[in-house]
A and B are shown apart, each in its own frame.
Chain A
Amino acid sequence: MLFRSLRSKLIAILVLLLSLFALATALATLNSMKHDSLSQARDMLNVASKVLRQALQIRATQLSDSVGLLATDFAFRRAVATAEQDTIASVLQNHGGRINADLMLLLSPDGELLVSSDAQLQQADIKPLFLQTGSANSSVADILALHGQPYQLVLAPVRAPNLIAWAGMGFLLDKPLADDIKAITDLDISFVIRQPDSLRWHSSTLTAAQQQALTPVLPLLLQQGGNLQQERDQDYLSVASALDQPQQLWAVQHLSNQRWLSSYQAFRQQLLLIFGATLSLALLVAFVFARSITRPLDALSQFARRIGQGSIEPAPTAGNDEIGLLGRTLHTMQQNILQREQQLLFNAEHDALTGLYNRAAVDRLLPDILAQHDGSLLQLNIRHFKHLNDILGFANADKLLVQLARRLTTVLPKPLLLARLGGDEFLLVYAGLLTPAQVQAKLLLLTEHYPLQQSLINLKLCAGLYHFFAGGERLSDALRRTDIALEHARHSPQRIATYVQGQDESHQRELQLIRDLPEALQNGQFYVVYQPKVDLKQQQCRSCEALIRWQHPSLGFVPPDQFISLAEHAGSIGLVTQWMLQQVCRQLALWQQQGLQMQVAVNLSVQDLLEPALCQQIAALLAQYQLSAASLALEVTESAIMQDADTIVRQLTALRQQGISLAIDDFGTGQSSLAYLKQLPVHEVKIDRAFVKDIATNSNDALIVSATTQLAHSLGFKVTAEGLEQHSGLSALSQCGCDTVQGYYFAKPLTSDAFVKWQRDFSQSPARWFSGETTL
């Protein structure tokens, strides 16, 4: 767009207006000027026409006088009176010569042509003039065309003393006359004769070429008589006047267009010059004016853009006009924005409760510190703060946090950065590497004597310490590692832990496992292995424990205890259990088709047991694969039960009522209460491998196993010993009264195919396993 900018619009409007005005003025002026010029020219021609008539009149008078004088010349009269043709002719010749007459003639008093210097002249030619004499007997003059020649003819009476004749003298309208008239009127003049079928130039002050050019317009000129004729393509403005009565003789006067147009053209030239100059000036003024408006506007626009970018530079100075007002308004706006921005920034980066920096501020400030210093990140956490919250109430707990924050600010040396990361976690950043002992000293100052509601409260603080080195750390890494250290501190008796190299990597690996687990379940990275349980009395294998295995594509084999505890933490253990139950039920159905009767145990997590829908899910699975409930066994760890005994007992009772076998896994390692044990609706306890694997050599283990077995039996539970590795332990277990044994001695966990094969082998000669003849 050409007129996008205000400046070009302003200029365009100004120039357009001025141009229109100037154009209108110029047109009006020029038009009127031209009209005036033309009208002046017409006046000039009209005057010239009158002057011509006057001049001809004067000439007629002069000629009349001359002829009159001549006619009274005595000798002339005497000669005329002789009535001798020759004498009269010669005297006419002679006296006509005196006054330069071109035509001489003599008429009788009756108008009869007596003598003529032009032999062709007829009496009739003269008659029109003669008739004018009347009875006045005085001179008459008129212009006549005689034989194609224009004459100014004068008739004067010849008296002796009575009228004896009329003397006639003709004077040609010729070039000298034209020149004379031109000298008077200052206009070119032509004498034109109209002939029956054409017009003839007789004499003219114009050149032949000019006459030639005017010839085409002559008829119209004569037709219009006294009216002016101006042909566009002609160089002349002309007027024609008839000189004689029959209108055969015409005088045409010419005014050169150049003459009357020249002043008009000069004026037009001047006007154009003025117009051009005015326009240029207007353009300049408009440009300057527009610039004076748009320039401050531009500056303000730039300024506003910089305000948007957060610039704090002052507003461009401006006058007291509207633009100045805009500038001041923008300046005020800038100030307000700055204030609000600072407020927002403060709010964004400060914790509303304690006034300390918040997480966002840490994100902003810490990278610089990490880049510039070697130093320590110290993350503090109030132990069991949730508990405090519950006891004291949120309001008081907040007060406690505020007090802690205040005390943190007083701890010396002052940290480079102090922030509340959230909840009860605080971050302190120090230059220099703090030792755990220094941290301990600080914690001592922070733990005791917080006055709250007329009592003093002591806090237990955990501290995670991380050492960083200038330029080598990413913010997220540093914070995560500090957090890892704090996590370790929570479980450490000193409640202080320093990050150790590698913790982060295992942490990362755990994160990856948690992340990958759901997808891995779908992708077949998991598989199930089965470890047989051998009935000692009947020497047969009728049951097994299903165990989950994970072959991670990049991390390789992942130990189950690792990913299961991760899954429990991450809350995704339900997925694993579901998958496991599905796999096992399918395998069970397959085996039943193959005629293999086997009870398979699946481990449940405490979270599975807290899931109310568990019973229905299992029932549905069993129904889906048309399995009897007895073919499925579920194992629960002792510690799991203890977490929410009532709920879990209720759940287990429901499962038992479905007909599913239940077992307590890892029995003997948890802090189980015998009181609970008696209530548990299980069929079986599985003694932990810790007591079994060395039973052959460790009499204490044998004692514990024996006692436990007896206890279990007496409570009505069957007993399975886990982790038998040597044949040597087998007889001890038999003596202890264990019902079934599970362990590497019989078989490590096997894939389904391998398990079927092993089971077939075992069934064919179980005795040799008990006699110790097997080769593993």
Chain B
Amino acid sequence: MTQFYALLFSLLIILCGLSPRLAADTLNIKLVTQHNQPLADAVVELVSPAGTALPAGEPASVTQQGLMFHPFVSAVVRGSAVDFPNLDKTRHHVYSFSPAKTFEIELYSGKPEQPVIFDKAGIVALGCNIHDYMQAYIYVGDSPLLAVSNSQGELSFSAVAPGDYQLRLWHPWQLAPAAEQHLTLSGSQQLQFTLAIEHKTKPAAPKRGFGQ
């Protein structure tokens, strides 16, 4: 029954999206799992075939707080610098052995001296050498049109120029890489995509020992 309502709801959204009364420059995308559950932390990248010039990426940061990376999934455009501020009392040793970006910020506290520049598109798995359970991902995209779904599985692009786009979809737990989809934007649109994932528990800090 729930599914039935969800489906109904999705159709309504799509129909709304097609309504000429809405503004044409907003793209709302809803992501669900194969079980039709909202899919959080999913990255959607819209690549313009025209080859849009890369604007300097906004400085992004992946913080460490409560022995956790925040956010779990980040998406940055190629060439962006990402800070890894440590808000915990403990030191962290952030590293990545991913081909897109291999780096290592050895034991530090506070904010590292230099942000890390991600100059190559790809997926970067972040880990902490002294806290194995800490895990985070940075999606380095070719296009600046990048968004990460919220806990409701929703994300939106505003002020997107109408035209043809390649839509890329990624999630760290995806069972298989999703194929790129061609998308023609004309005005505001409401879209929904389904991605099969292996459901996992998000990394969480273990109960503290040592009397803290």
Contact = CB atoms under 8 A, between A and B. Distances in A.
A74 B135 contact: no
B97 A81 contact: yes
B130 to A, nearest CB: 9
Contacts of B125: 160-162
B82 to A, nearest CB: 17
Most chain B CB within 10 A, of A72, A78, A135, A162, is at A162
Prevailing SS type, chain A contact patch? mixed
A161 B198 contact: no
B151 to A, nearest CB: 22
B97 A72 contact: no
A162 B127 CA distance: 8
Contacts of A160: 95, 97, 125, 127
Interface string A555-585: 0000000000000000000000000000000
Nearest to A135: B198
Nearest to B125: A162
B205 to A, nearest CB: 14
Contacts of A72: 132
A78 B127 CA distance: 12
Contacts of A81: 97, 102
A161 B134 CA distance: 8
Nearest to A83: B99
B129 interface: yes
Contact of B132 (A78, A82, A161, A164): A161
Contacts of B102: 81
A182 interface: no
Q: Which of A77, A82, A161, A164 has the largest count of B CB atoms less than 10 A from its CB?
A: A161
Contacts of B128: 161
Contacts of B97: 77-78, 81-82, 160, 164
Interface in A60-81: 72, 74, 77-78, 81
Q: Of A72, A74, A77, A164, which is in contact with the most chain B CB atoms at under 10 Å from its CB?
A: A74
A58 B133 CA distance: 26
A135 to B, nearest CB: 7
A95 interface: no
Say what secondary structure dominates the interface of chain B.
strand
A162 B129 contact: no
Nearest to B135: A161
A160 B101 CA distance: 13
Nearest to A77: B97
Name the residue in B97, B102, B125, B135 with the highest tally of chain A Cβ atoms < 10 Å from its Cβ: B97
A74 B198 contact: no
A159 interface: yes
B107 to A, nearest CB: 12
Nearest to B127: A161
Interface string B191-212: 0000000100000000000000
A181 to B, nearest CB: 34
Nearest to B99: A83
A762 B68 CA distance: 203
A81 B95 CA distance: 12
A60 B170 CA distance: 38
Interface in A128-162: 135, 159-162
A78 B106 CA distance: 14
A82 B98 CA distance: 9
Interface in A29-83: 72, 74, 77-78, 81-82
A72 B133 CA distance: 11
A771 to B, nearest CB: 203
B140 to A, nearest CB: 16
A55 B198 CA distance: 36
B174 to A, nearest CB: 12
Contacts of A78: 95, 97
Contacts of B133: 161
A159 B198 contact: no
B63 to A, nearest CB: 17
Interface in A633-683: none
A74 B128 CA distance: 10
A133 to B, nearest CB: 14
Interface string B113-154: 000000000000111110011110000000000000000000
Nearest to B69: A161
A159 B127 CA distance: 9
B197 to A, nearest CB: 13
Given A72-B132, A161-B133, 15 more contacts: A74-B95, A81-B102, A82-B97, A135-B198, A159-B127, A159-B132, A160-B95, A161-B125, A161-B126, A161-B127, A161-B128, A161-B132, A162-B125, A162-B135, A162-B172
5 nearest A-B pairs in the assembled complex, by CB-CB distance: A81-B97, A161-B127, A160-B97, A161-B135, A162-B125
26 contacts: A72-B132, A74-B95, A74-B129, A77-B97, A78-B95, A78-B97, A81-B97, A81-B102, A82-B97, A135-B198, A159-B127, A159-B132, A160-B95, A160-B97, A160-B125, A160-B127, A161-B126, A161-B127, A161-B128, A161-B132, A161-B133, A161-B135, A162-B125, A162-B135, A162-B172, A164-B97
Interface of A: 72, 74, 77-78, 81-82, 135, 159-162, 164
